[in-house]
Structure 1
Amino acid sequence: MSIAPPAPAQGAVPIAHRSLAPDLARGLMLLLIAVAHAHMYLSGHQSGFRGYALDGSAVDRLVAGVQILLVDGRALPMFAALFGYGLAQLTNRRLAAGRSWPQVRRVLRRRSLWLLAFGFCHALLLFFGDILGAYGLVGLVLVGFVRRDDRAVLRAAGAGLVLHVAVVAAFGLLTVSAPKGDTPAAMADPIEATVMRLIGWIAMTPTYFAASVVSAFLLGIWAARRRLLEEPAAHRALLSRVAVGGLGAAVVGGVPLMLIDTQVWAPPTAVSVSMYVLHSLTGIAGGLGYAAVVGLVAGRTAPGPVVRALAACGQWSLTCYLLQSVVFVAVFAPYLGGLGPRVGDAAASGIAVITWLSTVALAALLAPRGLRGPAETLLRRLTYGHRAAKRSGRGAGHGN
């Protein structure tokens, strides 16, 4: 999930040469990912569309309401846009280094295939809601759009929105009609939990998750061609419109589902499912809005200690994302920490924030020394081969 400016270089860009805004966006996005995922490890409660307990305390419902408005379904498309942005920049960098398009396409497909494999392992060992597999799958299938013209990219993004609505509506109907069984988070047998995680991942990756990221992925490619996050000062007007419009749409579109999932409003099933679709659809706008906000902030902010720490977390985004799941399993799983059935949504979100802060601190300590995250290092080595990965890593020792 690396994002870097075009440069005639082989492999990944050294840490010292990376652009601030994309890394800062990923570092902040990981906070949203953490709080969006932590409550999915809880068990023992009947839950609503977004997985929050319907019988939670007043504080739990408040936290759930805020997250439904600002986090759920908003972080996933933001990450997807950054992923598309990164693939476009990787393409530009390798073409500038003299590689042909067929050579670059092979690299992009190999990288996406390995990302899909990472997602499989993540689901196998830790989390059925893995999103890496969806990004890898979308990268494999849509890699050709990195070279297509803007009109084709935008048309495909529109078609992706139609697909997204259809898939989310189907999952919404399934949520309200299917019998409620135990989730992997509720299973005390680790083997049984592993099997259920894989079943869930196999079912959701090519459908719900992939459909949720297609449009944002393609719009990320479109944005990368204009270097919106790398040259925010030149695009301030556009970024401002996306930020205000996207976040405004996300909040307004999220209010009905927030009222439903916090038990304030109980409309008929057809209305509930429609509001679930509206929440998810406007979440794409919200994800793009968040990315635009970070671009605007990065364009006006000197990189002080906090900004550098968040950017370091973004440089280690794959590692930090996986570390979140390691912590959540250790804390919440019945066969380990066992907090899953004993705490509510508010406590889970508090644990998520602490976990995210810990990963920020870890990355801030090690990234300035030129060290890349172990997951990033492995993905780069699998993508480029041992020699190319070693060459691209030499320049990283100069710090951030």
Structure 2
Amino acid sequence: MAENEKRTMLERLFGRRKDQTGPNVADVPPAPQADDSPLSPIVQPPAVADTPPAGAAEPRPVAETDDTPPAPFLPDAPRETAPEAAAPESMEPEPEPAPAAPVPAPGKPASWWQRLTAGLKRTSSSIGTGITDLFTKRKFDAATLEELEDILIQADLGVAMAARVTEAIGKGRHDRAIDPDEVKGVLAREIEAVLVPVAKPLVVAADKKPFVILMVGVNGSGKTTTIGKLAAKYRAEGRSVMLAAGDTFRAAAVEQLKVWGTRTGATVVARDQGADAAGLAFDALQSARDTGTDVLIVDTAGRLQNKAGLMAELEKIVRVMRKMDAEAPHAVLLVLDATTGQNALNQAEIFGKTAGVTGLVMTKLDGTARGGILVALADKTGLPVHFIGVGEGVEDLEPFTARDFARAIAGLDA
């Protein structure tokens, strides 16, 4: 009776395999294989019927194997299902990500005005938010003017410029409501008036061949990158360009200039690290003259304006080049980092005395909320501002225009 119950239980569990295993029982030795297969009790009757009389006594050992508990096999049986084994195969046809993440077609490049306003966003937001908060919450009076002056000073426009703007805004407007946009309009006009005299393009004289540009500035101001951008600009105009890797203290600067030379198609003159910068400048000038190069741009090592020895080296570079060309360099551009704030005024003064700076390039205006320093520089030094940079791209260095800068920094439309 117990044997029938066990058989019934096993048939319920393995009923679907009964037909499949039946035909193979004749090939399996009765006693040894019964221990390894839970299906032996199910196929026992056919095995006894086909076995010769001599082996009729052997079914009892097979019956004894029925005492082997099937429990160890029960957890495994449901898991051996074909669908799970095929699951990875069903996932393989799915990798079609291209339509889900299409590469956008390149759009129309941003205009210079768009790049300028984006680059000056931090400065214009600082000034504009302060003006809006100030002139929408209270009546225009002396206290309001004082707070406006503080806002402009914090943007590095300088004390003199801030006082000039507040004075212009205060005329005829006391004790009455004033719109923030009206204040921004006055601010833009006053800034433009200061910048117009210094907004001068750098003219490459056709009768100066090569036209020599000497780049100077402190460490990290962006001289080498600016040189690369200028090279790209002049090459786009169809001019031949030579770059002199005069920053012989820093091997990375030489390699960086070589990369720019490759990108722009400019010739690069370089020497070993530690070579004499003045001698390199002289050799580059000689090579540029021999090859009829249009523009020669000479890089120099970054140096702090308070280092007398390094500043004297700049004087030597100028002196040596003038042995070959009495008018060289034809332009000495001081590259100023806008993020240095008021320290830029000191740099302009010292480099002006040492290297005879003829014009300014202001970089990294997109990295500060104090872009007003350019206004303070123009107001105090009167040096021409040739280019400004508002980003890392080649197109982010452009000739300086007073009106665009004034309206962008005030947060007004073009």
- TM superposition score normalised by structure 2: 0.27
Structure exhibiting the larger radius of gyration computed from Cα positions: 2
Q: Which has the higher helix share?
A: 1
Say which structure, 1 or 2, has more relative contact order (CA 8 Å, 6+ apart).
Answer: 1
Q: Which has the higher strand share?
A: 2
- TM superposition score normalised by structure 1: 0.28
